[in-house]
Amino acid sequence: RVRHHRWEITYQFKSPDCFQKLAVTINGGTPGPTIDAQQGDTVVVEVKNGLLTENVAIHWHGIRQIGTPWSDGTEGVTQCPILPGETFIYKFVVDRPGTYIYHAHYGMQRSAGLHGSIIVSLPGGVKEPFEYDEDRNIILNDWWHRSTYEQAVGLSSIPFVWVGEPQSLLINGRGRFNCSQAGTTAVCNPNSPQCSPYVLTVVPGKTYRLRITSITSLSALNFEIEGHNMTIVETDGHYVEPFVVKNLNIYSGETYSVLVKADRDPSRNYWAALNVVSRRPTTPTGLAVFNYYPNHPSRSPPTAPPTGPLWNDTDYRLDQSLRIRARRGYAVPPPRTADRVITFLNTQNRINNRTRWAVNNVSFTLPHTPYLVTLKQGLLHAFSQEPPPETYDYQNYDIYAVARNPNATSSDGIYRLEFDSTVDLVLQNANTMNPNNSETHPWHLHGHDFWVLGYGKGVFDPEKDPKNYNLMDPIMKNTVPLHPFGWTAIRFRADNPGVWAFHCHIESHFFMGMGVVFEEGVDRVGRLPTSIMGCGHAKVLGRKP
Ligand SMILES: O=C1O[C@H]([C@@H](O)CO)C(O)=C1O
């Protein structure tokens, strides 16, 4: 079946946390419409760029784009941006059931509100391996009052201006900013219906599958429903061996399904609370109402909202990561050995007095001619032909200290992988440029799912640590956290012809160079649509006849 959507992207005045700001919307809304499809369906989205002076591109996060690498929606990697007034048609097959996301992938546009859910259901007659009565989507986000443009310019200015912590946390596009802090020139209306809390109404005794997505630009989050445990059953489109948690740690770019039973005192409502973890929080708790029918939805719960775990309790978050295993009977065994191992040291650096992020001391710069076009058409002069480093000098680098030589180089060079080879990636965290500080980085791989082989604390030991890899029941994901001062090891098969980004899903970190690009089997890619061309070195190729 073909699922056809027609979207127009426009700026609109929105007050999701009562404070009015320009948001990038789809057909007037943020979050945008949910794409509902069934496994095997073809999704067609006609995107009209109705922004007056800004380009756009949309990425279908978690959809592998097998056979359609030009529909991945990554500006600079798989396509030229969509110009104002133009329409671009994305067309791809959703080949696996599960919970996915779409969002802008151009500059720092994602943080302006262009995102939504993709829900792929099972074919008729096939049952999920768990029971529930109803499904609900929950999108978690962080929100700033300054525009994406101000943020991006600040990050590339001298002196550097950091985006700072978000003003609000949003649950399904709703939050609450204290308007008394807004300043006199701002439009902030505490009575705006747009910023009334999201209400999740439940019927006592029923079990709900909450499909929870984090699309934050910066924050790692903890989500808790007061007094209710949740059972984790799915992440990034893969079934998890069920386990019960009091609250859920979720990183930008991840999705989870959790089962929640409405089995508490039905005479009252409860808070659903969202708290920042892993960075010292300055943002108030985000709140929604878990409303037991037939109580009035606007009746405030009588108790104080949950404050979540300690923000700097890394072990608590690592523990959740370690507990996520593939569901028995659904584990996909990984290849036993890797053909190539690439180690990525994650560091904060300086380049020409600007703060940047780097892997193996190389900070990524995104070209504006898409690699898919330059590689396929052999325009190799369009980017650096020097491959970035495979590893770093781990015997002489102190991950616990501010780098002795913080200067990095910039490059748009890429990793070229042998088609169908097995690749291990070891992400190694380190101290930032501030003493005693290491941050969480959710890494997202386009075009693939990977097996999560292990997490550890401290420096990865290439002799010892691979012996403890989980080759029995590793979960497959497309986004995985790298915890502070730790390492994360993943494995994937380079079996999807195309060019694929792998990057930190923190919007400002990718903008500041925290990413790499892989090419595999580009010679096997079919004829490129000219609609992805028309910019940079690909200008002449995109010219319409
Ligand atoms: O990239 C970042 O920059 C700031 C800080 O390190 C410099 O102000 C921060 O917290 C980041 O995550």
Mean pLDDT on 405-419: 96
The answer to whether the CB of 222 falls within 8 A of the CB of 308 is yes
Q: Is 275 in the pocket of ligand 1 (CB under 6 A)?
A: no
Q: What is the rounded distance in angstroms from the CA atom of residue 155 to the CA atom of residue 350?
A: 12
Q: What percent of the chain has pLDDT over 70?
A: 99
For 218, the token pair is 């910066």
The closest residue, in CA terms, to atom 7 on ligand 1 is 162
Q: Which atom of ligand 1 is nearest to the CA of 508?
A: 1
CA distances from 261 to 52, 213, 244, 409 (A): 46, 19, 12, 52
Q: What is the C-alpha separation between 99 and 324, in angstroms, rounded?
A: 16
Max alpha carbon distance in the chain (Å)?
Answer: 68
Question: Is the Cβ atom of 355 under 6 angstroms away from ligand 1?
Answer: yes
Kindly state the average pLDDT of the residues 90-107: 98
CB 448 within 8 A of CB 492: yes
Could you count the other beta carbons within 10 Å of the beta carbon of residue 365?
Answer: 16
* Residue pLDDT, tens place only, 468-499: 999 999 999 999 999 999 999 999 999 999 99
The verdict on the CB of residue 439 being under 6 Å from ligand 1 is yes
Q: Which DSSP helix (H) or strand (E) runs through 92? A: strand 87-93
DSSP 279: S
Quick check: 541 pLDDT over 90?
no
- For residue 191, with 0-12 CB atoms within 10 Å meaning exposed, 13-18 middle and 19 or more buried, which class applies? exposed
Say yes or no: ipTM exceeds 0.95.
yes
pLDDT for 545 equals 46
pLDDT digits (tens, 9 = 90+) for 324-363: 999 999 999 999 999 999 999 999 999 998 999 999 999 9
Average pLDDT, the chain: 97
| Average pLDDT rounded to a whole number, residues 166-178 | 98
Q: If 0-12 CB within 10 Å is exposed, 13-18 middle and 19+ buried, where does residue 342 land? A: buried
Measured by CA distance, the residue closest to atom 1 of ligand 1 is: 509
pLDDT above 50 for 113: yes
pLDDT tens digits, 36-72: 999 999 999 999 999 999 999 999 999 999 999 999 9
- Ligand 1 site, residue 162, Cβ cutoff 6 A: yes
Q: For residue 407, is pLDDT > 80?
A: yes
Domains and CATH numbers, the chain: 2-323 (2.60.40.420), 340-542 (2.60.40.420)
Q: Which atom of ligand 1 is nearest to the CA of 279?
A: 10
Q: Ligand 1 atom closest to Cα of 509?
A: 1
The predicted structure's pLDDT at residue 162: 97
Name which residue sits closest to atom 2 of ligand 1, judged by CA. 162
> Residue 432: CB within 6 Å of ligand 1?
yes
- Ligand 1 atom at minimal distance to the Cα of residue 162: 8
Give the pLDDT of residue 185.
Answer: 83
pLDDT over 90 percentage in the chain: 95
Cβ contacts of 464 within 8 Å, gap of 6 or more: none
Alpha carbons 59 and 70: distance in angstroms, whole number: 11
Question: Does the pLDDT of residue 12 top 80, yes or no?
Answer: yes
Phi and psi at residue 345, to the nearest 5°? -75, 125
Site to substitute for ligand 1 among 162, 312, 346, most atoms within 8 A of C-beta:
162
**Ligand 1 centre distance from Cα of residue 125 (Å):** 49
Q: Residue 184 has what pLDDT? A: 84
